Amino acid sequence: MNSTDRLQPLRTALAEITDLATAQANLHWDYQVVMPPRGAALRAEELATLETIIHERATAPALGTLLDEAADNLNGADPESDDASLVRVSKRDYDKAVRVPGELRSEMARAGALGHEAWVEARKQKDWAIFQPHLANMLELKRRYVDCFPDVDDPYDALLDDYEPGMKTSEVARVFEQLKAELVPFVAAITAKGDVVDASCLHGAGAFPRERQEALIRRVLSRIGFDPAGWRLDVAVHPFATGLGSQDIRITTRYDESHLAGAFFGALHECGHGLYEAGSDPALERTPLRGGTSLGLHESQSRMWENLVGRGRPFAGWVLPQLQEAFPAKFGDLDADGLYRAVNRVERSLIRVESDEATYCLHVILRFELEQDMLAGKVDLDELPEIWNERMRDYLGIEVPDVAQGVLQDVHWSEGIIGYFPTYALGNVIAAQIWAAVRSEEPDLDDRFAHGEFGPLRDWLRDRLHRHGRKFLPAEMIERVAGRPLDVAPYISYLKGKFGPIYGLAADR
Amino acid sequence: MNSTDRLQPLRTALAEITDLATAQANLHWDYQVVMPPRGAALRAEELATLETIIHERATAPALGTLLDEAADNLNGADPESDDASLVRVSKRDYDKAVRVPGELRSEMARAGALGHEAWVEARKQKDWAIFQPHLANMLELKRRYVDCFPDVDDPYDALLDDYEPGMKTSEVARVFEQLKAELVPFVAAITAKGDVVDASCLHGAGAFPRERQEALIRRVLSRIGFDPAGWRLDVAVHPFATGLGSQDIRITTRYDESHLAGAFFGALHECGHGLYEAGSDPALERTPLRGGTSLGLHESQSRMWENLVGRGRPFAGWVLPQLQEAFPAKFGDLDADGLYRAVNRVERSLIRVESDEATYCLHVILRFELEQDMLAGKVDLDELPEIWNERMRDYLGIEVPDVAQGVLQDVHWSEGIIGYFPTYALGNVIAAQIWAAVRSEEPDLDDRFAHGEFGPLRDWLRDRLHRHGRKFLPAEMIERVAGRPLDVAPYISYLKGKFGPIYGLAADR
């Protein structure tokens, strides 16, 4: 018996858990994309049942025994081999899962459901007081969750680890401090230039009929890697991507007939997630190693296709004739430089999900800081809306008119998702690191993009990142792909190199 | 503690099994309606995993104990109560499930997958020899399956019971003999009249654009009970209906732009299934009692809406103006009598699924007879195609040109589904019995239909049949709804009363 044969019982157990998780992901997709609305109550029960069964299996003592036996049977297999990685990563997952009592998980799930309901109402009424006690309760539960991991350096580490395995709060704080120090004055300098970028080509009442948007998006995505034999594109209120195995990738977008950028760049973004999901080595199918290694790495891929490719100058040159054909009234008289400038307009805005590349990270840093303070009990929750508003003033120079456009804008806290926000900004930072690496190895990428050839970038990403799935932790993966640890410099340099010229800033900015 | 409280542990266990079964049904729907083709291999694994987990739970000794305890705790509850029915029906399901060894189930599943593949190839090559050994193997497995139920009167009973619980082969044989004795000469008499019915309004190259068909169908179905808040209508290669709970009903149809009847009557048919699924008492949600009590009863509902309503004279009068508006070139000059005759054209045809009301049951009876002979080993499988062709000659007076249009036309045997066919014909018989009952109680139905009012029929069916779900066995249900046992007379009388006048047959026929 070789080590692979000896691992068969473990592989079978993990394959079943993976199948159940994929079924659960399919029910989530269905819920958000095709389910008739009256099905919601029963769907919640089904999802809860699947969650319970998955959790039972993922924490079963028998699985722990299989994992220990498998570790003994590796016989010095290369740590980078599929077998050794399967045992290592699954053991990490198992050890985390068994730390948290089932009751606490149930309490968190219930609190998340109630919190979400309260949040919807609070937003509608623009009344923070409706949501505040739910947030207080959620934080109390999160503290109990953190107590399950007594060996963390920082309480926030325990939350962050669920989304960015192995990442430390101190590391994120260091990176974010550097970002903030650069971005706050940079955004101020840009906005001081006034409204010098004309983005009117992207707006116009009813100017972008849905069918034309969709046809254009499908044409563009098919050049990037979307293939109807293994992908779907649908509409969802809250766009997302999901990989039901590497051969069934489902992305979503939403159309606004008066504004093109939302659906177009949203689809590029989700396509980036989809390529990561599609790119796992086929040998990892039906194992917990398939998929992306962290939310930050995942976001690096979506951001890369959305921004570094999709909002780049070569892409603008390639896509402009297609835009002109689809929407002649809006793009007929535009040149590629004009398009490039339009899709890179910077604006101090209230809403994170609508913000541009230059300001986005500041929205995230604000949340990261508040989450740590809340978890540590350093914030009087009564005052949270005002603290939020102050920081928006300090970081972005903008006044928040009400809580719906302020502290209540994101769904995350309502469902008890705390520790997730940093991954959005980390995605930007990591994307720029990978971008620098691939461009030094493949110097003709711009030229390829200008001809609509995206295969070289996609294949490079698959080879260096995607195919490894969850085999390596984020920190390891970043070093492998970018050749060095998490580093904010390439991102700052990218932003300055891009927005400096667009906004006519002095080169030393 | 009242008996309902005492049943809680059983209810919880059954609710989880039901949730898993609903998830499985959702994955099946997804597979057939929206899944990208390359997802098929992984989907098969997921479905197999869910099947295994459901089977484990449905046969767990702990469930048997809960069922026994629950039976003891019913304290003389009314046998028709939800509680007593839950225990009785679940106990019947459990006792059946534990009889069949897991290995045999796995072997049957594997043989079904291989058989299906061979069947596809055999049909393509019109070569019986490719499929024959698979059928032989399947029959051997079915005999082993029958051996798990040593107390049946007839081996075929064990197969039939999976689709029509409690129904006996002898009962079906009796009914089918009566049917055959009436239908063979009746069909001969009709077809002897020659091609006297003009159905050309339903045909025409490209005459029925898909969007118009769909809009018409949605309009018609919305009068019958289709509601987008709780239903979906999609396209599938093999149309079907599925109820993911009573608030999430999904039906499918397929469009042929040169032929209207397929999509239109197919949608009415699936809508009939959907109404049965939607009509279960809400108290039965998340229990094994929700849904239809048998395939025969289910088919009675689909056939009723498709044929007794949809191909009836009052419906023709109501729907004609809508057809004229949607397809003026085809229906502009037609009157309601002409439409009524067109949709009731009788034809000796080769393919069961395309056959009309008068000939349909003969296709089924032929299969029922062959299935019994095959199971009993009375047929040399080498000769099955020729035996098939002979009976087609005897029953329908038609020559079969090749096996693809003969013995290989149906998917069922390829997957090891034997004992299912009779339920199609039983559906017709039961539909006519229910039809007679509802019309005697609601004498103005024709008038209502002529005005597009289908609520009275739908509500009557819900009250008498749908709301009970699986609480009662088919035989009990038929007696409750129709006031008497399974009886072929109303169906014969319906067929003669309808097709006699259309084809100008003497009244005594």
Q: Quote the minimal CA–CA distance from A47 to chain B in Å.
A: 8
- Tell me how many degrees the CA angle B88-B90-B91 measures, rounded to the nearest 5: 65
Backbone phi, psi, residue A25, to 5°: -65, -35
Structure confidence by residue, pLDDT tens digits, A209-253 = 999 999 999 999 999 999 999 999 999 999 999 999 999 999 999
What is the number of domains present in chain B? 1
Instruction: Confirm whether A43 is domain-assigned.
Output: yes
**Cβ neighbours of B283 in A, within 8 Å:** none
Q: Give the total residue count for chain A.
A: 509
What tens-digit pLDDT sequence spans chain A (509 residues)? 566 688 999 999 999 999 999 999 999 999 999 999 999 999 999 999 999 999 999 999 999 999 999 999 998 899 999 999 999 999 999 999 999 998 999 999 999 999 999 999 999 999 999 999 999 999 999 999 999 999 999 999 999 999 999 999 999 999 999 999 999 999 999 999 999 999 999 999 999 999 999 999 999 999 999 999 999 999 999 999 999 999 999 999 999 999 999 999 999 999 999 999 999 999 999 999 999 999 999 999 999 999 999 999 999 999 999 999 999 999 999 999 999 999 999 999 999 999 999 999 999 999 999 999 999 999 999 999 999 999 999 999 999 999 999 999 999 999 999 999 999 999 999 999 999 999 999 999 999 999 999 999 999 999 999 999 999 999 999 999 999 999 999 999 999 999 999 999 976 54
Q: Does B232 touch chain A (CB under 8 A)?
A: yes
Q: Quote the minimal CA–CA distance from A241 to chain B in Å.
A: 15
The helices-and-strands tally (H runs, E runs) of chain A is 22, 3
Instruction: Give how far Cα B146 sits from Cα of B56, B116, B153, Å.
Output: 21, 22, 11
The helices-and-strands tally (H runs, E runs) of chain B is 22, 3
User: What average pLDDT does this structure show over B396-403?
Assistant: 97
**Cβ neighbours of A236 in B, within 8 Å:** none
Instruction: Confirm whether A79 is domain-assigned.
Output: yes
- Pick the catalytic residue from B171, B270, B277, B299: B270
Instruction: Give how far Cα B490 sits from Cα of A124, A198, B167, B343, B445, Å.
Output: 59, 76, 20, 21, 17
Interface mutation vs chain A, best among B18, B28, B43, B284, most A CBs within 10 Å:
B43
Domain range for A31 is 1-99
Please, where are the H alpha helices in A34-168?
A: 40-58, 61-72, 82-99, 102-125, 128-147, 155-160
Instruction: Confirm whether B71 is domain-assigned.
Output: yes
Instruction: Confirm whether A64 is domain-assigned.
Output: yes
pLDDT of residue A4: 64
Exposure b/e, B450-486, CB count within 10 A at least 16 = b:
bebebeebbebbbebbbbbbbbbbbbebbeebbeeeb
Round to whole Å and give the CA distance between B416 and A157.
Answer: 55
Backbone phi, psi, residue B219, to 5°: -65, -45
pLDDT of residue A3: 60
Structure confidence by residue, pLDDT tens digits, A416-472 = 999 999 999 999 999 999 999 999 999 999 999 999 999 999 999 999 999 999 999
Q: Is the ipTM of this complex over 0.95?
A: no
User: What average pLDDT does this structure show over B163-180?
Assistant: 98
Instruction: Confirm whether B242 is domain-assigned.
Output: no
Let me know if A270 is a catalytic residue.
Answer: yes
- Record the pTM: 0.95
**Cβ neighbours of A230 in B, within 8 Å:** 36-39
CB–CB of A16 and B49 under 8 A? yes
Q: Does B34 touch chain A (CB under 8 A)?
A: yes
pLDDT of residue A5: 82
Please, where are the H alpha helices in B355-450?
A: 360-375, 384-391, 422-441, 445-450
Instruction: Confirm whether B199 is domain-assigned.
Output: no
Share of chain B above pLDDT 70, in %: 99
pLDDT of residue B281: 98
308-347 of A, contacting B, C-beta below 8 A: none
Instruction: Confirm whether A46 is domain-assigned.
Output: yes
**Above 80 in pLDDT, residue B509?**
no
pLDDT of residue A2: 62
pLDDT of residue A509: 43
**Cβ neighbours of A20 in B, within 8 Å:** 49-50, 53
**Above 80 in pLDDT, residue B3?**
no
Q: Quote the minimal CA–CA distance from B424 to chain A in Å.
A: 29
CB–CB of B232 and A36 under 8 A? yes
**Above 90 in pLDDT, residue B4?**
no
Instruction: Confirm whether A73 is domain-assigned.
Output: yes
